[in-house]
Structures are given as structure tokens and as C-alpha cells.
């Protein structure tokens, strides 16, 4: 694999190999890519609800008139927003004014369709049956005026439950299952949707909502292109090369201008000139979809600038791990969150993979200079990951660039360097033994070693982290551990499905009994896109007859 070659070259044994030499090995003949059209959609979008509704928005969220803060930001106004706000200002101080009734009169609330599966479905049959129920088409003609929903040109699959829109990193794991179910057309559609977003906004938003536009999510686009290429051939690399480069440019904004020892947006420049990345959000206000919760957290963060707290909360939302002890200064408490101070092992592993993917796409397009450039970028990052994100205790982890030291938090994110093949072999095996000793539980892989009440901590286990760990173990020849991770989690999913006839977002993996996970800002969600995708892969690997 290309990624593992780069990792070897960044190790001491391979440091003397030159980029042009490897580039020559990669060059393959092919046709030039055809970029998608470049219509400007961003200017046609309304601002996020917090801006669009001002004081009305703050009142609705702070008074918690709906149990879920996402309800109002997904609601659609029945008339002109300015007129609704004006009516609110004129009415709010009147006797007997009822804010909830005002909202119900002026907004159409989102609905969650009731999905009732036929009885007697096997787990595989149920997932195949679910895909159409989770598929949405929301072109510009389908989205009402002033909705927070961002229209997309082609169909896409949503996770399920309160997650009524497409989500960036979820989609990679959903695609795994769609391919197993024979829905390569949907994989192509969602790739085209993401390419469209990159062309319009310069990045793939967290999800296709206006309140998600200020951040992205873990950059899996290059890995999605790799999935498509396995099924459709190498033309996929050339087709999406312009968007691969644009996404990379988004994540690397400021890399050439940031002084040493400082950070700009998603970029951190170390004192020695090493460039790595962090999670970040361009806004420093409470999240629209969790406004009350963020204001409450900032109040608990005594002595901290609320804007800094909000940006750290938003940065954690970009990570997908919202929330986890990985980001907490004290390892326990949300109010100590310091996401933007942390250089995460997962993000930098994914960016290594993106660099390698672009290098391959450039080689296939016969762009020799581009190939050599991205090979060199990937080599530098591989070396930096193994220098800064390796804990001598025996695992890959996160680095606090402000404090100048590793965080020391053990998490399933340690598997990412193995998944993208940037880990040095001896370190890969040490990391696997750490995961086995500290995170492997009777029902699968725990997310971290601590229970903070947050959803990305123990005792929860998540389908994507099981897949990444399993694949990482297989990449480095540890088939027995991969099987333990996969079969234990599959047994958990099967047991919940047998008792409740559904798949869920996350699972409890500790203790003898299976069950849906908990913690975090919202109740457990059914559906569920990435669980469905990973479960189909696990069934094919470890229970092909079921």
C-alpha cells in the first residue's frame, strides 16, 4: 500500500529515500479529471438560525421550550424571518405572551418519521430494508425558503433519529455498508455531493445545515474516494483530484504564514517548524444546536474567556468526539475543555492519508511535480506523527501543543495510525497490545478508559472505532485481535437487535450484558447509518451465512 510505503520512508530506515524515486514508481497512464461545475451556492443560503432570529433564537433556546435544542434550529419559518422577529419584539412583553405558542404558530417543526420494520427480518435483511428509509433527496427545489438545511444535488443517507441531514465522517462508514448491499450508486451520489460542497464552500461542512458551515469533520473524503476506486477503478482518483486538493488547502490554511510556536485555524506550527493540525471552528459563540448547554458550560468554566470555551466546544464537535475526556484539561470535566490546544492523532493520521491519496491521484494524472510535492508532505507528516504523537508508554496519542507534552489520555483513537498504515511496525504491535489490555471489553472496544458521563468515553463503544481498530490490526498482521474486536462488537449489535429490533448509534461494551449506550447531550438514537454499515461488513467477515 502507498501509505505504508510512505510510513517506512519516514522511519529512520527509510529516511534517505527521495520523493522523486517513489513518484516514478506510482506513475500510471490515464485521462485528465473533469471537475464539477463551480456555481456559487453559498451566497444564496440564509445565515444560521442564531443570526437569522437574534433575540428570538436566544429566548427559545435559553428557555428550553423544546427538550432537544436541535428542534428549533431545524424548524422552518412559515413566513419572512424579519417579519416574524418584528412580531416577536412587539409581542414579547404583552401580558400572557406564550413563547412556545408563538413559535408553534410561526414555525413548522421537524418531524422524525416512524420506521416500523416488518416482523421476522434477519439483521442483514433489516439493514438492507433500512437504506431507502434513511435516504433523502433535498435539491434546491425541495428545501423551503429560509430553512437551515443546505440543498445537495444528489441523494444521500442520513444517520437516523434526530440526525435528519447528512454528516461528513459518518458517511464513510455508511458507504461501507452501501457497497455490501449493492448500492454503489448511492456511494457515487454522496461523493458527488461532498465534491459539490467543497467546490461551493471550500470544505465539507460538519453536516448540510447552515449552522454547521463554520466547521468540518474528520477528513474522510480521500478514503471515500479510495472506496469508490476499489469498485469503479482508478478513474475515481482523477475525477475528484481538484476537490481532494481543495479540501487539503482548507485544512492547511495558514501553514506557510504562521509563526513558530503558534496556531492559525486548523494548523499548528511547532517551535522546530513541524506543521501538524488541530480541530477548530471559525465561530466562537455557543453552537446553535446546543446553545443552552454551551452557555451553561461556559458559566462553569470559572476564569476562562467564554469565547475560548465556545470555540473549544465547537472544535470538539468538528472532531466527531463530542464530548470526550480526550479534550478535557483535567480528564474529567467538560468545563475544562481545551480542544484547540490539542494536536489529535486521528486528525493527523487522516491528513497523512489525504496527502498520500492526492499523491496517487496526481501520479495517475501524470502530474509529476504534484506527485513529488504530496509525497514529501506525507513523508514529513509520517515522521511528525511518529515523533510527537507516540507515547513511550506504548501507544499513539494526542499532544497538547500549548503545554508542550503528550496528554497521556488512552483512547481508541490510537488505532488511527494503524488504519492509515503510518505506524511503525513495532509501535503498531505495542499499540495493539495496549488496546487489548486497556480497552477490549466483553462486548467490544471501549472508547476510553474513563467514565465521565460523556458519550465518547467508557462504557460506550462505537461502530466506526471498532472498524478502524479491526482494520488497523489486520494491516499489521494481527488477525486474532482483529477477530476479537469484530466478533465481540457484532455479538453486542446482534443481542440488541434480537431484543429491540433496531440498531443504535452506540453501545455499552463493558460488563456481561449488551445494550444501547448513553451519556452526552441527547438520548440514544436509532437508525443508525454507521452502525448499519460496519455491521454488514462484520457479518460478511465473521458470520457470512447470517
* Cβ contact 170:160 at 8 Å: no
Q: Can you give the pLDDT at residue 115?
A: 82
Q: Can you give the pLDDT at residue 21?
A: 31
Asked if residue 312 is part of any domain, the answer here is no
Domain finish residue from 199, 217, 248: 248
For residue 444, CA distances in Å to 177, 199, 435, 502 come to: 20, 39, 11, 18
Asked if residue 126 is part of any domain, the answer here is yes
Asked if residue 298 is part of any domain, the answer here is no
Average pLDDT, the chain: 93
Q: Which residues are annotated as a binding site?
A: 162, 169-170, 206, 215-217, 320, 521
Q: How far apart are CA 368 and CA 375, in angstroms?
A: 11
Domain finish residue from 210, 227, 248: 248
Asked if residue 264 is part of any domain, the answer here is no
Say how many Å lie between the first and final Cα of the chain, rounded.
31
Q: Can you give the pLDDT at residue 39?
A: 39
Asked if residue 291 is part of any domain, the answer here is no
Asked if residue 220 is part of any domain, the answer here is yes
Q: What is the mean pLDDT of residues 142-147?
A: 97
Q: What is the mean pLDDT of residues 74-82?
A: 98
Domain finish residue from 203, 220, 248: 248
* Cβ contact 1:421 at 8 Å: yes
Q: pLDDT tens-digit profile of 458-509?
A: 999 999 999 999 999 999 999 999 999 999 999 999 999 999 999 999 999 9
Asked if residue 476 is part of any domain, the answer here is yes
Question: Which positions are catalytic?
Answer: 322, 505
* Cβ contact 427:386 at 8 Å: yes
Q: pLDDT tens-digit profile of 235-250?
A: 999 999 999 999 999 9
Regarding pTM above 0.85, the answer is yes
* 114 half-sphere exposure, CB direction, 13 A CA radius: 2
The DSSP 8-state label assigned to residue 498 in this structure reads H
Q: How far is CA 280 from its chain centroid?
A: 13
User: Residue 44 — pLDDT band, cuts 50, 70, 90?
Assistant: confident
Q: Can you give the pLDDT at residue 40?
A: 55
We report the CATH number of the domain holding residue 107 as 1.50.10.10
Q: pLDDT tens-digit profile of 423-454?
A: 999 999 999 999 999 999 999 999 999 999 99
Asked if residue 496 is part of any domain, the answer here is yes
Question: Which residues 6+ apart lie within 8 Å of 30 measured at CB?
Answer: 234, 235, 238, 364, 365, 366
Number of domain units in the chain: 2
- The range of the structural domain enclosing residue 415 comes to 410-546
Q: Which residues are annotated as a binding site for substrate?
A: 162, 169-170, 206, 215-217, 320, 521
* Cβ contact 384:378 at 8 Å: no
Helical (H) or strand (E) element with 325: none
Nearest to 306 by CA among 297, 316, 315, 319: 297
Q: Where are the alpha helices (DSSP H) in 288-340?
A: 291-300, 306-319
Please identify which residue in the block is written with the cell numbers 511528525. 384
Amino acid at each position: 500500500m502507498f501509505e505504508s510505503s510512505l510510513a517506512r520512508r519516514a522511519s529512520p530506515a527509510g529516511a534517505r529515500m527521495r520523493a522523486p524515486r517513489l513518484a516514478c514508481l506510482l506513475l500510471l497512464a490515464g485521462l485528465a479529471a473533469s471537475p464539477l461545475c463551480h456555481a456559487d451556492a453559498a451566497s444564496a443560503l440564509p445565515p444560521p438560525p442564531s443570526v437569522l432570529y437574534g433575540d428570538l433564537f436566544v429566548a427559545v433556546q435559553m428557555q428550553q421550550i423544546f427538550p432537544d435544542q436541535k428542534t428549533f434550529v431545524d424548524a422552518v419559518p412559515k413566513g419572512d424571518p424579519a417579519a416574524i422577529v418584528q412580531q416577536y419584539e412587539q409581542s414579547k412583553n404583552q401580558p400572557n405572551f406564550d413563547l412556545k405558542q408563538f413559535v408553534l404558530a410561526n414555525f413548522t417543526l421537524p418531524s422524525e418519521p416512524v420506521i416500523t420494520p416488518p416482523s421476522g427480518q434477519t439483521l442483514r435483511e433489516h439493514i438492507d430494508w433500512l437504506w431507502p428509509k434513511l435516504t433523502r433527496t433535498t435539491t434546491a427545489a425541495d428545501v423551503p425558503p429560509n430553512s437551515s438545511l443546505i440543498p445537495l444535488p444528489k441523494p444521500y443517507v442520513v444517520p437516523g433519529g434526530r440526525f435528519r441531514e447528512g454528516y461528513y465522517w459518518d458517511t464513510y462508514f455508511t458507504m461501507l455498508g452501501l457497497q455490501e448491499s449493492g448500492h454503489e450508486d448511492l456511494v457515487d451520489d454522496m461523493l458527488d455531493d461532498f465534491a459539490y460542497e467543497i467546490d461551493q464552500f471550500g470544505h465539507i461542512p460538519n453536516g448540510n445545515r447552515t449552522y454547521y458551515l463554520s466547521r468540518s469533520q474528520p477528513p474522510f473524503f480521500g478514503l471515500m474516494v479510495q472506496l469508490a476506486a476499489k469498485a469503479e477503478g482508478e478513474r475515481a482518483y482523477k475525477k475528484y483530484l481538484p476537490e481532494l486538493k481543495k479540501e487539503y488547502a482548507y485544512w492547511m490554511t495558514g501553514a506557510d504564514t504562521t509563526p513558530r510556536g503558534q496556531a492559525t485555524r486548523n494548523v499548528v506550527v511547532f517551535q522546530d517548524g513541524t506543521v501538524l493540525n488541530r480541530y477548530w471552528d471559525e465561530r466562537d459563540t455557543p453552537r446553535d444546536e446546543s446553545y443552552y448547554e454551551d452557555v451553561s458550560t461556559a458559566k462553569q468554566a470559572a476564569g476562562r474567556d467564554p469565547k475560548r470555551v465556545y470555540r473549544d466546544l465547537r472544535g470538539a464537535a468538528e472532531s466527531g468526539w463530542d464530548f470526550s475526556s480526550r479534550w478535557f484539561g483535567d480528564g474529567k470535566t467538560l468545563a475544562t475543555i481545551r480542544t484547540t490546544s490539542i494536536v489529535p492523532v486521528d486528525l493527523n493520521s487522516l491528513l497523512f492519508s489525504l496527502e498520500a491519496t492526492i499523491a496517487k491521484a496526481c501520479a495517475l494524472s501524470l502530474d509529476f511535480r504534484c506527485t513529488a510535492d504530496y509525497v514529501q508532505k506525507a513523508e514529513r507528516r509520517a515522521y511528525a506523527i511518529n515523533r510527537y504523537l507516540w507515547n513511550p508508554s506504548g501507544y499513539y496519542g494526542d499532544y497538547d501543543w500549548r503545554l508542550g507534552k503528550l496528554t497521556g489520555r488512552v483512547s481508541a483513537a490510537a488505532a488511527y495510525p494503524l488504519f492509515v498504515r503510518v505506524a511503525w511496525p513495532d509501535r503498531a504491535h505495542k499499540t495493539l497490545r495496549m488496546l487489548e489490555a486497556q480497552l477490549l471489553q466483553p462486548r467490544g472496544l471501549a472508547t476510553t478508559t474513563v467514565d465521565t458521563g460523556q458519550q465518547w468515553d467508557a462504557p460506550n463503544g462505537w461502530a466506526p472505532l471498532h472498524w478502524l481498530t479491526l482494520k488497523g490490526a489486520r494491516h499489521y498482521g494481527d488477525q486474532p485481535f482483529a477477530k476479537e474486536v469484530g466478533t465481540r462488537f457484532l455479538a453486542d449489535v446482534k443481542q440488541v437487535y434480537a431484543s429491540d429490533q433496531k440498531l443504535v448509534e452506540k453501545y455499552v461494551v463493558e460488563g456481561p450484558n449488551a445494550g444501547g449506550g448513553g451519556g452526552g447531550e441527547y438520548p440514544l438514537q436509532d437508525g443508525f447509518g454507521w452502525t448499519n454499515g460496519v455491521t454488514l461488513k462484520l457479518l460478511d467477515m465473521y458470520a457470512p451465512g447470517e
